[in-house]
């Protein structure tokens, strides 16, 4: 069943009632995991050192850490500052397999102003799980997280 992202965005806005980036990132990935069908991992990677992503709050199995900018779909999102939508991760050489069950991946960069703050990463066991409407919807939810959170406090 298709997620109603406009409704989810309003619900997430109501859920994120603090400015604390840690609380909000934990709530955001739990909310997405339980609201968007057919996911097996949702989480944040944070840029805390140059050219390196550190594992942040997530839902799902323990995951890879750290991820250099030159590795993985997450690294590609961090380098390009553009959302990465992959239909079949097995066909992408630079994909990092944290869980062999993952088949499709969507990674949205999170910016603090013009600077990369981190990425929001979603995995699905279904090939081609993420359509353009899911990309737009998850970008909408990421924007709710960004607008509701004090990202400077994570430095």
Binding site for ligand SME (CB under 6 A): 41, 63-64, 67, 72-74, 95-96, 98, 102, 105, 121, 123
Is-contact 40 62, C-beta < 8 A? no
Is-contact 71 65, C-beta < 8 A? no
Question: Could you tell me how many residues make up the chain?
Answer: 155
**Based on CB atoms, which residue is closest to ligand SME, 19 or 34?**
34
d(CA 72, CA 96): 5
**Based on CB atoms, which residue is closest to ligand SME, 39 or 141?**
39
**Based on CB atoms, which residue is closest to ligand SME, 72 or 148?**
72
Nearest to 138 by CA among 1, 30, 3: 3
Is-contact 94 75, C-beta < 8 A? yes
CA distances 6 to 51, 64, 144, Å, are 33, 31, 11
Residue of minimal Cβ distance to ligand SME = 72
Beta-carbon contacts of residue 23 (< 8 Å; ≥ 6 apart): none
**Based on CB atoms, which residue is closest to ligand SME, 27 or 102?**
102
Least spacing, CB of residue 100 vs ligand SME, in Å? 11
**Based on CB atoms, which residue is closest to ligand SME, 89 or 144?**
89
């Amino acid at each position: 069943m298709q997620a109603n992202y406009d409704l989810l965005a309003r619900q997430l806005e109501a859920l994120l009632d603090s400015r604390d980036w840690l609380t909000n990132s934990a709530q955001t990935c739990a909310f997405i995991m339980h609201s968007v069908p057919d996911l097996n991992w949702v989480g944040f990677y944070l840029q805390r050192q140059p050219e390196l992503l550190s594992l942040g709050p997530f839902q799902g199995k323990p995951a890879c850490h750290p991820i250099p900018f030159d590795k993985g779909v997450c690294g590609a999102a961090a380098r390009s500052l553009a959302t990465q939508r992959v239909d079949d991760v097995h066909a992408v050489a630079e994909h990092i397999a944290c869980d062999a069950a993952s088949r499709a991946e969507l990674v949205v960069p999170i910016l603090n102003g013009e600077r990369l703050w981190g990425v929001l990463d979603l995995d699905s066991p279904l090939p081609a799980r993420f359509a353009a409407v899911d990309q737009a919807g998850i970008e909408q939810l990421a924007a709710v997280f960004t607008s509701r959170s004090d990202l400077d406090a994570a430095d």
